[in-house]
Amino acid sequence: MTQEEEKVRATHIPFGDQRDAPFYGRDIVSVRQFTDDDLTYIFDVAHEMQQMVARIGAFDLLKGKLLANLFYEPSTRTSSSFTAAMERLGGSVIPINEVTYSSVSKGESLPDTVRSLEAYADVIVLRHPEKGATALAAQYTKKPIINAGDGVGEHPTQALLDLFTILEELGEVDGLTVTMVGDLKYGRTVHSLARLLSRYDVTLNYVSPDILRMPESIVAEIENGGTPQIVHTNLDDVIADSDVVYVTRVQKERFENPADYDAVSGAYVITPETMKVAKDRMALLHPLPRVNEISIDVDDDPRAAYFRQMEYGMYVRMALLALVLGKA
Ligand code: CP
Task: Indicate which atom in ligand 1 lies nearest the CA of residue 313.
Answer: 1
Average pLDDT over residues 162-183: 98
Question: Cβ neighbours of residue 212 under 8 Å, at least 6 residues apart?
Answer: 182, 183, 184, 185, 186, 250, 264
CATH fold label, 11-154+314-324 = Rossmann fold (3.40.50)
Q: Is 127 in the pocket of ligand 1 (CB under 6 A)?
A: no
pLDDT tens, residue by residue, 58-82: 999 999 999 999 999 999 999 999 9
Whole-number Å distance between alpha carbons of 274 and 236: 8
Task: Give the chain's mean pLDDT.
Answer: 93
**How far, in Å, from the CA of 28 to the mean position of ligand 1?**
17
Whole-number Å distance between alpha carbons of 244 and 221: 22
pLDDT value at residue 16: 60
**How far, in Å, from the CA of 169 to the mean position of ligand 1?**
20
Q: Who wins on pLDDT, 149 or 7? A: 149
Supply the pTM of this predicted model.
0.93
Task: Indicate which atom in ligand 1 lies nearest the CA of residue 76.
Answer: 7
Choosing among 1.10.3720.10, 3.40.50.300, 3.30.565.10, 3.40.50.1370, the CATH entry for 156-310 is 3.40.50.1370
Q: Is 25 in the pocket of ligand 1 (CB under 6 A)?
A: no
Q: Do domains 11-154+314-324 and 156-310 have the same CATH topology?
A: yes
Average pLDDT over residues 19-23: 76
Mutate to test the pocket of ligand 1, among 69, 71, 77 (most ligand atoms within 8 A of CB): 77
Mutate to test the pocket of ligand 1, among 125, 158, 309 (most ligand atoms within 8 A of CB): 158
Question: Cβ neighbours of residue 327 under 8 Å, at least 6 residues apart?
Answer: 17, 18, 21, 61, 62, 65
Enumerate the domain spans of the chain. Answer: 11-154+314-324, 156-310
